[in-house]
Amino acid sequence: MEHYEYKPSGVCSTLIEFDLDDNNVIHNTKFTNGCNGNLKAISKLTEGMEANKVISILKGNLCKERGTSCADQYTKALEAALSQRG
């Protein structure tokens, strides 16, 4: 299992942390700052899901006129982690 940290931009959350196992399954997601209840829910809902599945569901989800959201930034974090893995 590998731990990843991502600094999102354009959103209230300032850090996204998660682990990926050998099958790219997500574990232990934690958002720092942002809408606490909503981000805890995203973390619980994505626990045990394959990263590409989460990306396909949450990518492009927008918050107001920001052009992104914490959920969308989470997909960017997952994509970055998957690209590091090769």
Residue 21 gets the label, from left (phi > 0), alpha (psi -120 to 50) or beta, of beta
Domains of the chain, first to last: 2-85 (3.90.1010)
Task: Note down pLDDT in tens along the chain; length 86 residues.
Answer: 999 999 999 999 999 999 999 999 999 999 999 999 999 999 999 999 999 999 999 999 999 888 999 999 999 999 999 999 97
Model's pTM, two decimal places?
Answer: 0.95
Residues with Cβ within 8 Å of 43's Cβ and at least 6 positions away in sequence, in order, are 29, 30, 31
